[in-house]
Amino acid sequence: MTEALFGLAAAVHAFSAAVLVANLAYLRRRKPVSSGTPRGRLSVCIPARNEATVLPGLLADLASQDHPDFEVIVVDDDSTDGTGDAVLAAGDPRFAVLRLDGPPDGWLGKPHALHRASERARGDRFLFLDADVRLAGSDALSRLATFFDSLPAGSVLTGLPRFTGGGLLLVSQVPTAILTGLPWPLVGKVRSRALGALNGQVWMIDAGAYRLHRPHERHRNEVLEDVRIGRYLLEQGFTPVLADLRDTVSVRMYRNLGRAWLGFRKNAYLILSGRPVPFVLLWLLYGLAFVAAPLAWPLLYLSLYAQRFAADRFMRFPGWVPVAAPVSYLAASLMQADSFVNHLARRVTWKDRSVSG
């Protein structure tokens, strides 16, 4: 039994290491740079609920952009902190605010907000950004748009931004999961639904394709709408493309570890299948490979640290983040268990709304 468990844990480490190496090589060839003039009009769609503290930063970045033709649609999703007023205060004629009274029955807030933004948008391409995003440089939109233009027809652009802010013990698990969990070089070659995903913080699609398939409307009640949309679009013949956006986009997800815990708690159970039995099996596998097995077989710590140093250095995290990797995996495992319990009890909320199934 002991040898079997070690073998299973070692296999997980070998898989994640191979995926990490492949993805880092993949990203080296997918980095937006300034080249040429973007074609057509770009619609930037931003969902915002009580984002008055972070939204002005993104609006200032957008106001400085050199893209020749773009519009910004901010959806104020029944905010109580003056989020919509921040758009008006920016005083930019390219910015519009759409005020909503919250989602109707059967919808969650973010899918509804972006669906409504898409109805108002008049661009040739839609760029979806979270309100806590920041853009690096006045050519950030142009870089994203020209890179999208360079992709094969039927591509959907998403990316790996730079992560800043607090709660890095948990936040660092996000790029680690993206870099070690999904083999992006295979996404366009093996058309398996399991390989579909998007990073909902930043993604771009042709407007005609969006209007034809209406992905937010189709996934109107999904907490993980970005993952579901990525799988859906892959099934429809589109290819999600992950780009290295560290020099173009940054995201300040959470102020501190407590907020990060609550934020990830709404997603973790759903990421690990969203069904009790598969969740428990995947949670046990995760805990075995990255928490328990290295304690019993210290050789696995070499693999754990090697992968985290490679991933965290790529993501430009502070030096203490990879050093604390064992604590990071333990915290993530505990948070996953907390997500499981609270989802089953239907106690998961976010921004004062229930997001439990």
- Number of structural domains (the chain) is 2
**In a domain? residue 169:** no
What CATH number is given to the structural domain containing 90? 3.90.550.10
Question: Does 35 score more than 80 pLDDT?
Answer: no
**In a domain? residue 173:** no
18 phi and psi angles, rounded to 5 deg? -65, -40
Domain-ending residue, one of 228, 252, 276: 252
Write out pLDDT tens, residues 120-138: 999 999 999 999 999 999 9
Question: Does 111 score more than 70 pLDDT?
Answer: yes
Q: What is the pLDDT of residue 319?
A: 97
Give the whole-angstrom CA distance, residue 105 versus residue 127. 26
Range of the domain at 145: 31-161+199-252
Write out pLDDT tens, residues 51-71: 999 999 999 999 999 999 999
Q: Are residues 154 and 107 in the same domain?
A: yes
Q: What is the pLDDT of residue 352?
A: 82
Q: Are residues 227 and 347 in the same domain?
A: no
**In a domain? residue 187:** no
Q: Are residues 99 and 233 in the same domain?
A: yes
Q: Are residues 153 and 286 in the same domain?
A: no
Q: Are residues 247 and 336 in the same domain?
A: no
* Reduced 3-state DSSP string for the chain: CHHHHHHHHHHHHHHHHHHHHHHHHHHHCCCCCCCCCCCCCEEEEEEECCCCCCHHHHHHHHHCCCCCCEEEEEEEECCCCCHHHHHHHHCCCCEEEEEECCCCCCCCHHHHHHHHHHHHCCCCEEEEECCCEEECCCCHHHHHHHHHHHCCCCEEEEEECEEECCCHHHHCHHHHHHHHHCCHHHCCCCCCHHHCCCCCCEEEEEHHHHHHHCHHHHCCCCCCHHHHHHHHHHHCCCEEEEEECCCCEEEECCCCHHHHHHHHHHHHHHHCCCCHHHHHHHHHHHHHHHHHHHHHCCHHHHHHHHHHHHHHHHCCCCCHHHHCHHHHHHHHHHHHHHHHHHHHCCCCEECCEECCC
**In a domain? residue 181:** no
Write out pLDDT tens, residues 137-159: 999 999 999 999 999 999 999 99
Q: What is the pLDDT of residue 311?
A: 98
**In a domain? residue 183:** no
% the chain with pLDDT above 70: 99
Confidence of residue 1 (pLDDT cuts 50, 70, 90): low
Question: Does 216 score more than 90 pLDDT?
Answer: yes
Domain-ending residue, one of 252, 284, 317: 252
Cβ atoms of residues 148 and 235 within 8 Å: no
Q: Are residues 66 and 208 in the same domain?
A: yes
Give the whole-angstrom CA distance, residue 12 versus residue 20. 12
Q: Are residues 211 and 82 in the same domain?
A: yes
Question: Does 343 score more than 90 pLDDT?
Answer: yes
**In a domain? residue 125:** yes
Confidence of residue 350 (pLDDT cuts 50, 70, 90): confident
Q: What is the pLDDT of residue 194?
A: 87
